[in-house]
Structure formats: structure tokens, C-alpha cells
Amino acid sequence: MKPTLLLLAAGMGSRYGGLKQLDGLGPNGETIMDYSIYDAIKAGFGKIVFVIRKDFEQDFREKVLSKYEGHIPAEVCFQSLEDLPEGFSVPEGRQKPWGTNHAVLMAKDIIKEPFCVINCDDFYNRDAFMVVGKFLADLPEGSANKYAMVGFRIGNTLSDNGTVARGVCSKDAEGNLATIVERTEIMRVDGTVCYKDEQGEWQPVGGDNTPVSMNMWGFTPDYFEHSEEYFKEFLSDPKNIENLKAEFFIPLMMDKLIKEGTATCKVLDTTSKWFGVTYSADRPGTVARIQQLIDEGVYPEKLF
């Protein structure tokens, strides 16, 4: 069974501003996710599913979904603050979405096959889709609790225009994910990749090839069941109700499953160089790099 690509498109870029998922960066108005979908098709994915907000469904269908007709089957589902398990309600004053793993949960009734999760505003590059696509396609039928994360080399994921947030990872002897620590401020300092610690001091990360999470995961459908159960625990914790910005992140779920011994998560190495639009100043460089890939023959001038 061909794997499915699940694209998280419900967020708005707080640092970039506006609906950057719909920002045309290619020569014919192609968005970053157009390139992701083109790469996914090349890597053998058979279907795409978008998680979006209901309030921009029409815009999304007209500007985005229509262009994939005849290329790959596409579906949408919706992330809503009110979409909670039975017995739970939105805390008074809460406006922030519930986070990436809540977004993943929205696809539980649509996806019945191995799937890859990505952000819509990150340019992952083709090798990343190839390695996760192969991992998912090679899973024996009925596989459960054997997941994967594409581990980008940190030196390939930096912005020239400021710090970036990355999940810095460590692996066990089998190459499975052991720990993932969110570092909110990472940049190159005097030639060395560093993160800012709690005291505001810059600390070396451990080399350019240290694996980091770019929110590119490979799962089987049993992941939805784990997520449903843990989301109830998350919502039952008074700290997460009192903190109106607490989020149910994918790494939070994975950390729990790994620590319990419920699941393993293979860290897949990739040579891909990430780029994106974390800051509006990143945009011209991203446009130029896409054009360079077109000039090199990696992508056609017009994708779809």
C-alpha cells in the first residue's frame, strides 16, 4: 500500500505574518508545499491529506487543491479548537490551537495506511521524502509501534536571518530516537552551531551533523489510538488547562511512547538541505534557491 502524506496547514506564521502556506515562491506562483507534494509523488506516495482551518477552506480549495487534480488524490480535514474528546471543553479564554499532534488527530478517520507528517511551510527537499517513503513502503502489512523521524543534519537547517527553533535529537545504539530536546534559539556563533541555554549563554550543539527534528515523521495508523488516549491525559492535567498556550506536540507524544517502551522511532538520516520562510527576510533567498534547483533540472519550470 502506498503511503499517504499528511500536511499540517492550519497554522499561521506568527514570525512571518500572513498565510505563508499560500505564498507563491516559484516562478509560476508555486508554494513551498507544491514542491513537497511534487517530491512526495516522485517518492511513491499515493495520496495527500491537508489539515486546514475551516475558515479558509474555500480559498484553499480554489488556490491549492484544484491544481493537484489528475496528479494525486487529495482530501482535507479541519483542525478546530472545539474538537475535543467527549467530556472536555475549551478552557475560558483559550484561543491558541492545541498543537501539532492535535492536528494529526484530525486525520484519524481518513488515513488507514502508513503516513508521513510534514509542515507546509518547510522546504524539505527530495531526499527526505525518499528516505521516509522507503521506510513506510517497506513496513510489513499490519505493522504497529515502529515509527520514524527524518533527522536533518542541524548545519543544513539554519536561517541566515536569525535564530531557529529545532528539536535536537540523540539516538540509541540501534539508531532509534532516544531523546528530543526543543531548543528555541539556535544559530551559528563564530562558525559553530550553538543554542542559547536557560542562562542566556550560547552552548555548542555538538557538530553540524547532529540530527534535529523538522517535524517530518513516519507513522502507522495505530499512532492515532495512542494520541487519542494521551490527549485525554493532557487535557486532564490542570497545568495544561491553566496555561492557555499549552500545546499537544508530536515530540511530547513520541517522548512518552519511547520512555514507556511502547514504540520505537528510527532516526532516518538525510542529506537534504532544509530551507523555508521563518522570517520575511528569508523570502528572497528561498525564491533564489528554488530557481537554482529549477536551473539544475531538479524541478520543472511549472510543477502542476
pLDDT at 2: 95
Burial 214-224, CB ≥16 within 10 A → b, else e: bbbbbbbbbbb
pLDDT at 14: 42
SS3 of residue 32 by DSSP: helix
DSSP state of 176: B
* HEC per residue, 57-85: HHHHHHHCHHHHCCCCCEEEEECCCCCCC
Question: Which residues are within 8 A (CB) of 142 and not within 5 positions of it... i.e. 6 or more apart?
Answer: none
pLDDT at 16: 42
Spell out the alpha helix ranges (H) of 86-185. 100-105, 126-137
pLDDT at 37: 96
pLDDT at 19: 56
Rounded-to-integer distance, Cα 22 and Cα 28, Å: 13
Task: Name 269's bridge partners.
Answer: 151
The tens-digit pLDDT sequence of the chain (304 residues) is 899 999 998 864 444 444 555 678 899 989 888 999 999 999 999 999 999 888 888 878 887 889 999 999 999 999 999 999 999 999 999 998 899 999 999 999 999 999 999 998 889 999 999 999 999 999 999 999 999 999 999 999 998 888 988 989 999 999 999 998 889 899 999 999 999 999 999 999 988 999 999 999 999 999 999 999 999 999 999 999 999 999 999 999 999 999 999 999 999 999 999 887 777 888 898 899 999 999 999 999 999 9
